[in-house]
């Protein structure tokens, strides 16, 4: 019998990655879809040949012919739909970011732990699929010595134009406490270097409103479009995040890890260099067999069929990065240093 997947929310990533990703796997069927409206769900069903369309999430979850669900909604619905799906006996692949805030993430983890027979997986930050395992190994083996400083540059100018339509990331009603790309970078740093233990954050909302395509009006923005975090990692290193949508002409996004014996510079697009102190930087190539590529749907199916452990990304790891994101939001709002 095939593994039958239901889709809750069918936005761009679900249509470009998840549905095709499942449909290319042997013995997996895209069985049902429920989107924001039944009409939009029907359009997705027609595009991908999905046989069942539901107007309500509860109807899809009640369908005994659906074995697992892929939740592709915005973060504000992740807790509600994930916990309902698990309680309905469905395996869950939930889109990132994990949840609107830390409390929601912890509830998702608690429900998943109470139902250990079901697979609960988050879509991972995909930035470092190629080089991440190699960078993690190089750091762990001491090739750059003790980690001293880490800088994260997530600067771009995509939000400078106030006529650009509203995006879900612009309003906390939909994004929760997730600020631009902060949580995605934090997830990558967490893989390489472990947890942050304390931080102080500040932000600015420069473009205060945008056109709301849903009704033709304009909507106030309450998520910063410029944000900075200064923190300390558990290994003692300092870390600085700069994320911005109002920095036109900024250098390419990336992460630099400065050690006592050398430095790693990684840039978006999976280019990295490694240099020892006093030596020329050399390109860092992925270890043989370590370049994962995009295998999110395959990993999810393997965990269901074979009991393979969820590594990218488990709900427990999701709670770890949500702890960071939540603390950064609280630090900005309350104007104080926060211990994690």
Per residue in 113-144, pLDDT tens?
999 999 999 999 999 999 999 999 999 999 99
Per residue in 151-184, pLDDT tens?
999 999 999 999 999 999 999 999 999 999 999 9
The sign of the dihedral angle between the CA atoms of 3, 124, 129, 250 is: positive
* Model pLDDT, residue 292: 86
Confirm if 194 and 317 have CB atoms less than 8 A apart. no
Q: Domains, the chain, ranges and CATH?
A: 3-125+294-313 (3.40.50.720), 132-291+322-339 (3.30.360.10)
Per residue in 199-220, pLDDT tens?
999 999 999 999 997 667 899 9
Task: Give exposure, 281-318, as e/b (b: 16+ Cβ within 10 Å).
Answer: eeebebeeeeebeeebbebbbbbbeeeeebebbbbebb
Task: Tell me which residues of the chain have a pLDDT lower than 50.
Answer: none
Token pair listed for 275? 């240099």
The span from the CA of 74 to the CA of 147, in Å, is 35
CA-closest candidate to residue 270, choices 97, 123, 135: 135
């Amino acid at each position: 019998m095939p593994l039958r997947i239901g889709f809750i929310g069918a936005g761009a990533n679900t249509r470009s990655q998840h549905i095709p990703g499942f449909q290319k796997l042997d013995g997996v069927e895209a069985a049902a879809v429920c989107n924001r409206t039944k009409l939009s769900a029907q359009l997705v069903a027609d595009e991908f040949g999905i046989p069942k369309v539901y107007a309500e999430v509860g109807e899809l979850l009640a369908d005994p012919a659906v074995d697992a669900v892929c939740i592709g909604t915005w973060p504000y619905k992740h807790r509600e739909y994930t916990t309902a799906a698990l309680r309905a006996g469905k395996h869950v692949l939930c889109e990132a970011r994990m949840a609107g805030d830390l409390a929601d993430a912890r509830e998702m983890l608690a429900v998943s732990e109470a139902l250990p027979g079901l697979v609960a997986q988050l879509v991972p930050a995909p930035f470092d699929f190629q080089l991440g395992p190699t960078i993690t190994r190089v750091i762990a083996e001491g090739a750059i010595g003790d980690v001293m400083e880490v800088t994260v540059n997530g600067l771009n100018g995509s939000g400078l134009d106030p006529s650009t339509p509203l995006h879900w990331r612009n309003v906390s009603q939909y994004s929760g406490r997730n600020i631009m790309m902060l949580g995605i970078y934090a997830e990558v740093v967490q893989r390489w270097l472990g947890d942050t233990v304390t931080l102080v954050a500040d932000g600015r909302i420069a473009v205060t409103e945008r056109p709301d395509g849903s009704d033709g009006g304009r909507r106030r923005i309450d998520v910063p479009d410029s944000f900075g975090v200064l923190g300390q990692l558990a290994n003692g290193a300092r870390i600085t995040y700069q994320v911005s949508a109002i920095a036109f002409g900024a250098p390419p996004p990336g992460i630099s890890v400065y050690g006592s014996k050398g430095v790693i510079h990684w840039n978006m697009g999976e280019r990295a260099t490694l240099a020892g102190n006093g030596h020329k930087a050399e390109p860092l190539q992925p270890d043989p067999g370590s370049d994962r590529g995009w295998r999110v749907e395959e990993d999810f199916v393997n965990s269901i069929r074979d009991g393979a452990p969820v590594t990218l990304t488990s709900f427990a790891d999701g709670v770890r990065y949500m702890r960071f994101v939540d603390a950064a939001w609280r630090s900005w709002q309350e104007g104080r240093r926060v211990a994690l």
